[in-house]
Amino acid sequence: MQVSNPVLIGGVPLDAFLAFIFAFIAFLFLGNLAYLLLRRVLDGHVSRGKAKWAAAILQYAVMVGGIYASARYFLEFELTAFIASLGLLGIVVAFSSRQIIQNAVAGILITINRPVQLEEWVIVSGRPETGPCKVRDISFTTTILQGLDGGLVLTPNSSIITSKVINYSRAGLLEVAIPLAVPVTADLVRVQEIALAAAHDHPLILPHVEPAERSAVQNLFDLPYLGRLSSDLPHPGLRLFEPKVQVSSIKEEWVRLTVRVWIRQIPGKDRIVSEYLDAVIGQLAAEDPLGVKKPKGEPAPGLPEAAQPA
């Protein structure tokens, strides 16, 4: 009787190879299922960052462990022999994938050092700079940021470790510089009074905010890194964030002022600045401290354009 030889793929019987492929797909599915289940269990009990990393570790453990066990059982895979057989090819592959390795190591360092966390507002320097962005996701190789315009910025983890990162959420505050331009004939004292009064009246500009906001800002001084910034004051407090008006330059017939204010609502920066400028321009039009009088019966003259914050 003639016995047919089994079909081999790389020295492995076809049925064993197909069984390994099936197990490979199954463990990929089980890894993702484990991730979803653990996230559902942990969400609401621990922070989103801890839940995500715990679920990701379980996911990769299930995938790698299951695929390795399947390879040993179906393909008689020996890890030691495999590593020894790589030789020069392994060195070439490792060298060509050094960027991936760098990002993976940076992802581990981000997990340990936690320079950024989910939902924090940060700026990552580079070419170009990201601008204010919220941290949406941190994987082993990539950090996903979302800008104020809604766009997603995929940043390699190595950039978070090696670049300058400005973390606004840790400080809890943002200083905004608002340029104003008025004629040289304007009553600068009154213009400055109007600019400061508009800042004091705005409910989201420090320090004249609602009690809940005021308490939240005051609690920031309990943080070591912010307390050191105010250590030169005998009694640090909200007066650190009083609005200020400075003359920045005089050019031709215009005096350029800079109003510096502090806010906590970083995503609402543009809206707050717009509301502030509307209040300033409305008061300037009502009082006319700019030295421009309108003839009786004619509409008010146009006010100088107020630039957006730098």
Say if residue 25's pLDDT is above 60: yes
* Selected residue with higher pLDDT from 241 and 98: 241
Q: For position 280, what pLDDT does the model report? A: 92
Residues 121 and 34 in one domain: no
Q: For position 306, what pLDDT does the model report? A: 46
The CATH number of residue 126's host domain is 2.30.30.60
Is residue 219 one of the residues assigned to a domain?
yes
Residues 142 and 213 in one domain: no
Q: How many CB atoms lie within 10 A of CB 45?
A: 8
* Selected residue with higher pLDDT from 109 and 246: 246
Say if residue 1's pLDDT is above 50: no
Q: For position 23, what pLDDT does the model report? A: 86
Q: For position 86, what pLDDT does the model report? A: 47
Residues 269 and 227 in one domain: yes
Structural domain for 181, as ranges: 172-287
Own/partner pairs for 32-40, CB < 8 Å, 24+ apart?
A: 32/59, 34/58, 34/59, 34/62, 35/59
Say if residue 101's pLDDT is above 80: no
Taking all residues of the chain, what is their mean pLDDT, rounded to a whole number? Answer: 76
Q: How far apart are CA 257 and CA 248, in angstroms?
A: 5
Residues 251 and 227 in one domain: yes
- Residues 150-193 have pLDDT tens digits of 888 888 888 888 888 888 777 677 888 999 988 888 888 999 99
Say if residue 292's pLDDT is above 60: no
Residues 38 and 65 in one domain: yes
Whole-model pTM: value is 0.56
Is residue 139 one of the residues assigned to a domain?
yes
- Residues 37-51 have pLDDT tens digits of 888 888 878 877 778
Find the mean pLDDT for residues 113-137. 82
Say if residue 94's pLDDT is above 70: no
In terms of Cβ atoms closer than 10 Å to its own Cβ (0-12, 13-18, 19+), residue 55 is buried
Residues 121 and 213 in one domain: no
Is residue 256 one of the residues assigned to a domain?
yes
List, as one string, the DSSP characters of 195-207.
HHHHHHH-TTBSS
**Number of structural domains, the chain?**
3
* Res. 196 pLDDT band, cuts 50 70 90: very high
Residues 165 and 253 in one domain: no
Say if residue 291's pLDDT is above 80: no
* Res. 216 pLDDT band, cuts 50 70 90: low
Is residue 259 one of the residues assigned to a domain?
yes
The CATH number of residue 216's host domain is 3.30.70.100
E runs forming strands in 46-86? none
Is residue 236 one of the residues assigned to a domain?
yes
Is residue 216 one of the residues assigned to a domain?
yes
Residues 211 and 281 in one domain: yes
For the chain, how big is the Rg over CA atoms in Å?
30
Residues 158 and 182 in one domain: no
Domain boundary among 77, 101, 125: 77
* Res. 303 pLDDT band, cuts 50 70 90: very low
Q: For position 11, what pLDDT does the model report? A: 59
Residues 64 and 123 in one domain: no
Is residue 144 one of the residues assigned to a domain?
yes
Best-predicted range by mean pLDDT (173-182, 199-208, 261-270, 274-283): 274-283
Is residue 182 one of the residues assigned to a domain?
yes
* Selected residue with higher pLDDT from 258 and 20: 258
Residues 265 and 239 in one domain: yes
Q: For position 170, what pLDDT does the model report? A: 74
Residues 254 and 178 in one domain: yes
